[in-house]
Structure 1
């Protein structure tokens, strides 16, 4: 059961939004912090999914969870476009409590995701093997996201600093928007207005930060 759960979750997580989020976070945090934060988030969400996953939706409305996740993704996207004077001189900026911030981001992204729902389903079908399901799901998520983290670090190492910021912010905006509209569907016209607004704000932040360090 452990191997079955591991393979199932590992394959389901590949190219998932959570994996891409971890890739993007390697641009903002040290790799060690991203990995530790991801592992902490995996342990928490896997435990919830295995033991009480079917109760999460009853305790916390899924729309609220998705709204919080979307707000965090969009916030990361805007924040990522800022260039501080320290960064322009080549110094790394370490944000407060990065491990816990990353863990919280991971948990929000995984709640209601296909890998979390798969873990809940496997746990429900194998009530006498909760430990194997938990370990398999945890290892599957950890290995898939470690792959994503190293891939992100490799890709970003071959891009210019500006390109890295734009690409990683694009991921944040994309999945933040998808998560938002999953919770609150809107008319097509609103999507256009929303996209113009996001792009305009992003451009203003990007241009302002460049002017400040010029």
Structure 2
């Protein structure tokens, strides 16, 4: 039970203000359908955190914190650029046409969670509680849901009040800030 409670608390706190929480807000404002987004976040997190618990330590040992830091920093800045793509592409939305809202959320969230601090926390927690893999994954998944479900519900309300272009601009500024902060701060495990 200790592994579950610690995992839940650590990830819920780490997720506050994180890029995946920001992604939850953007998806909610874009699609305005919270249920498939919440289910997509759950599935993506569960799969991602199982993968993190199983192979995350090996990947980090092979890549190293410096390369990981640069990859993460540059990916945040790339995400900022993607946020500024004109609304024409949002209306075109081939990804959501092909995979639906649920599938788009699973894919976007899974990719955004790669190398994220909550994924790295899952790796560390699985090393700390090696006999309790399922409790760690259940706890980290619950922590993600505790942080992101309110963001999705707020995003759905905010989408009715705020223009999508403004939301994308704010998201882009936050992603640039995350990118710069990541590039300037060494990762430590």
Give the TM-score category using the shorter length.
Answer: 0.7 to 0.9
Distance change in 2, residues 1:147/1:119 (3 Å): same
Distance 1:77 1:96 in 2: 22
Distance change in 2, residues 1:102/1:65 (3 Å): farther
**Secondary structure of residue in 2 paired with 1:95:** helix
Match of 2:82 in 1: 75
**Secondary structure of residue in 2 paired with 1:45:** helix
Match of 1:21 in 2: 23
Select the structure with the greater relative contact order (CA < 8 A; seq sep ≥ 6). Answer: 2
Quick check: which one's helix share is greater?
2
The correspondence for 1:6, drawn from 3, 8, 12, is 8
Count of residue correspondences:
173
Distance 1:115 1:35 in 2: 18
The correspondence for 1:104, drawn from 99, 102, 107, is 107
Distance change in 2, residues 1:81/1:14 (3 Å): farther
Q: Is residue 128 of structure 1 aligned with residue 131 of structure 2?
A: yes
Distance change in 2, residues 1:22/1:83 (3 Å): closer
Match of 1:37 in 2: 40
Distance change in 2, residues 1:65/1:184 (3 Å): closer
TM-score between both structures, scaled by the size of structure 2: 0.74
Larger Rg, first or second structure (1 or 2): 1
Match of 2:54 in 1: 51
Structure 1 gap segments, 5+ residues each: 87-93, 186-214
Structure 2 gap segments, 5+ residues each: 185-189
Alignment RMSD: 2.9
Moved more, 127-136 or 39-48: 39-48
Match of 1:205 in 2: none
